Amino acid sequence: MDDKIPGVTIRRLPVYLRVLRQLQTENVEIISSAKLSQRTGFSSEQIRKDFAYFGAFGTRGVGYQTDVLRKTLMKILGLDKGIGVAIIGAGNLGTALARYNIERHEEIEISAIFDNDPDKIGTKIADDVTVSSIDDLEAIVGEKDIKMGVLTVPPEAAQDVAEAMVSAGVKAFLNFTPVKLEFEDANPYVQNIDLSVEFQSLAYYTNLDG
């Protein structure tokens, strides 16, 4: 039941989760891969393959129970227990992400946001989120058992901050800086989101006919 799940599959799970939440508000108790296909845009075969990685939990001739499916996917992603996140860099993007995230994800909690600007430290970004000094990074990350870091610092600070976080126990990063992070002993998971890449690559398609 736990043979190396491809990253592409993992990244589809939150989409399934979103649809399943919707379906539950609509009181839909059973759903077929074909219907899920309509709602997600993924092919029905792909959906069945994805679910099969976690063992078969559909019923042939019937479909999947939305409730069971949702709970299973939550558990696989580890969203059944709360996850603490720290955002490093309380600039435009960091602040926006803190607020954005708090609105949407109960399971993923912004536990702290850090900056090195004295004017920002102590500022309240959102309910329950106040900017801490980056000097307290390791202490707070350890204390609050933070496992996930979001990097929205200037590029030159990224590598150092990331290393400090890893030694404090962070296992995974959302890296919004254009820096290719490298680690010696530890091997945290790094998901890069490079907004320059998004904007500039999109330019290519504005010149094409479609």
Binding stretches for DNA (CB under 7 A): 6-9, 31-34, 42-46, 48-49, 51-52, 56-64
| CA angle (116, 181, 99) in 5-degree steps | 50
**Site for its own copies (CB under 8 A): which residue of 28, 76, 121, 164?**
76
Query: Tokens at residue 171, please?
Result: 């296992």
Positions 45 through 74 that interact with its own copies (CB under 8 A) = none
Dist CA 112 CA 131 (whole Å): 7
Among its own copies, DNA, none, the one that 25 touches (CB under a kind-dependent 5 to 8 A) is none
Positions 17 through 36 that interact with its own copies (CB under 8 A) = 17-18
Positions 87 through 146 that interact with its own copies (CB under 8 A) = 92-93, 95-97, 99-101, 104-105, 107-108
The footprint of its own copies (CB under 8 A) covers 10-11, 13-15, 17-18, 40-41, 76-79, 83, 85, 92-93, 95-97, 99-101, 104-105, 107-108, 147-148, 171-174, 178, 180, 186-189, 191, 193-208, 210
